Chains A and B, each alone.
Chain A
Amino acid sequence: MSSKNLILSKIKNLAQEEKPLPEIPNFETPEDLLETFVNSVKLNKSTLISKMELQDLVNSGAYPKVYSGSKLIEDLKTFTLPENPKDLNDLDLAIIDGQFGVAENAAIWLEDENLGLRAVPFITQHLVIILEKSKILGNMHEAYTKIGSQFSGFGIFIAGPSKTADIEQSLVIGAHGAKSLRVVLV
């Protein structure tokens, strides 16, 4: 017998009585979505910057290699992504659009079309996500209702810069992925 059939028949042979699948009710969401989102951003050690500040950042010369895939702020476009993500190892700053944010935890949803290459938000040294103010939802339940059945090969909630506390529980920002996350609300 194949392992698949073996595993399935072992479960079937238990002849378990089916327990019902609970329905998920609607839960109350924060009154001021924007304020809650901004607070959550800070708690997650990300920073909120304005569109102007982003322009200054890009023009400052502090980030030699900048990629922008943003459609929300168009004049930032820099270079076309390479085919091999490993060629982005020297990327200093990536700017991409998020689809929506979640107030309770500052998680921002992105899919393949926002990322260009899936490696972009991880391989870059610093990350900027641009988000429309009107696209902030209350909690994770609303988030999954919004995502619904839309199809993307890859989707991700990003909630902050890469971090670790594996050395004596001391929080260190910048483990493997982006060393900082800046959020721009437009």
Chain B
Amino acid sequence: MSHPSQAANFLKDEKRAHWHDETLWFVREKRDISSKGIPEWEELRKLASGIKDHVLTKLDYYLEELEKKATENGIKVHWAKDAEEHNKIVLSILEEKKCKAIVKSKSILTEECHLNPFLEKHGVEVVDTDLGERIVQFLNQPPSHIVLPAIHLKKGDISEIFHEKLQTEKGNEDPTYLTNAARIHLRDKFMKAKVAITGVNFAIPETGEFVVCTNEGNADMGVHLADVHIACMGIEKIIPRREDLGIFLRLLARSATGQSITNYNSHFRSPAPGKEIHLILVDNGRTKQLGREKFKNSLKCIRCGACMNTCPIYRRSGGYSYGSTVPGPIGSILSPGIDVKKYSTLPFASTLCGSCSDVCPVKINIHEQLYEWRQEITKAQGWSAKGMSMKLANGIFKSPLAYKVSGKVLRATLKTLPNSIIYNPLNVWGKGRTVPEVPKESFKEWYQKNRP
């Protein structure tokens, strides 16, 4: 399904779409207030961008260092070339531990690898423990936003699904009441799980540690109660030194939600006595993206979601309209790198206003990459209606006579053109637009009459 048709679905519920738009803009405003409280904000962005640029050029070195140091610390390091291998590694650890039920905190990577359905197929119960993720999991939906997974839902929807799954009072939509019900439900899951899975926000080769940030504390509840902690990370999550965390932790939460820092910022360096930590390093197309000079910058992303909150298209079309694991502007430059055919409409789901690039804490030139992808895709497709009309326009603008004649013809026909030509399924441009009122004469004709 293409982005425009999915977006049309989202917009059917006008009131909800409006709420979505306003709520995300509110988050964007919180980000603005928070970032403006830091005089060195722009310098922090520049430093973060520079650090990530450096890492990408030496990624092989840092990955080996990370493995070396982490292994010295007692962490078991695994390498996965793709999603399939990643999922198999997770399953093999679970089988070794004879584990049939796991708790998982937010990890976009495991979404990307479709780990949940894979494990469920092999008889493992997967419980997402982030509240928003648990809500969408109950509904068999993927997250619609990488930081706010259930932002497309209203409390009425959540009350309904909690009534069905957690036996909460019918019609009770109080967020505190619903959250507490989830707390009780999930605590039980935490107490029973032998293995906990988390994502990784940052991995530090200097010390062989990795950092996980949450507000709910769900990652920590999971891993500290379980015997085995499996952490899954894309190979681009590296920052070289411990001191670099100072930069990134100042930027991450402020960009994501406007908080000065996430509540829990956990640094895992070695397992507690008698426990295990596994760290899986996943490629899954990242080395390919690294080889694309124009698009490798996208690997600097720290998954704060700021580009989604600010994007006029994302806010008005919802996360599901993108049909990709990571939606929004950053998703629209990452996804075509994975499957250009499947995601061919995404780089066009943008006004190219550049707001995404302005808020990006690691200064990814998102809108420029969107523009680059459009060209790649148009080239690959070979033909487009827009391409044809541009060629036609080129011919008209070259010849003064053709320009004059075509202007007259257009003014005449626009007046009499039947609506069916503009408002028909073949003409997507006609959607939500009207034809301008036609002037009686051209500017040239007017000028000749009035300025003799």
Contacts and interface: CB of A to CB of B under 8 A. Distances in A.
A113 B260 CA distance: 26
B24 to A, nearest CB: 9
Nearest to B37: A104
B263 A166 contact: no
Contact of B60 (A11, A106, A107): A11
Interface in A56-111: 85-86, 89, 104-107
B64 interface: yes
A177 B183 CA distance: 9
Contacts of A186: none
B262 interface: yes
Contacts of A158: 263-264
Given A22-B51, A152-B269, A118 B224 contact: yes
A166 B132 contact: yes
Interface stretch (B4-12, B186-194, B376-384, B444-452): B186-194
Contacts of B150: 166-167
A183 to B, nearest CB: 13
- Interface class of chain A by DSSP: loop
Contacts of B64: 8
Contacts of A155: 266-267, 269
A163 to B, nearest CB: 5
B100 interface: no
A105 to B, nearest CB: 4
Contacts of A89: 187, 191
A12 B54 CA distance: 15
B53 interface: yes
Contacts of A2: 79
B394 to A, nearest CB: 38
B103 to A, nearest CB: 10
A157 B267 CA distance: 8
Nearest to B218: A176
Given A4-B79, A168-B155, A177-B216, A139 B246 contact: yes
A14 interface: yes
Interface stretch (B237-245, B342-350, B398-406, B433-441): B237-245
A104 B59 CA distance: 32
Contacts of A11: 59-60, 63, 287, 290
Interface string A140-181: 110111010101111111111111111111101011111000
Contacts of A20: 50, 54
Contacts of A172: 175-176, 179
Interface residues of A, number: 72
A24 to B, nearest CB: 6
A25 to B, nearest CB: 8
Given A118-B224, A139-B250, A140-B249, A17 B155 contact: no
Nearest to A153: B270
B369 interface: no
A123 interface: yes
Given A4-B79, A154-B269, A14 B191 contact: no
Contact of B57 (A6, A17, A112): A17
B221 interface: yes
Counting chain A CB atoms within 10 Å of each CB, the highest count among B215, B257, B281, B291 belongs to B215
A185 interface: no
B148 to A, nearest CB: 7
Interface of A: 2-4, 6-8, 10-12, 14, 16-22, 24-25, 27-28, 40, 43-44, 85-86, 89, 104-107, 112, 117-119, 121-123, 139-141, 143-145, 147, 149, 151-170, 172, 174-178
Given A154-B267, A176-B216, 17 more contacts: A4-B67, A7-B287, A22-B51, A24-B246, A28-B40, A104-B260, A122-B220, A140-B250, A144-B245, A144-B246, A147-B242, A169-B148, A174-B183, A176-B129, A176-B186, A177-B218, A177-B264
11 contacts: A3-B283, A6-B283, A14-B290, A22-B46, A105-B260, A140-B246, A149-B207, A157-B261, A164-B132, A172-B179, A176-B190
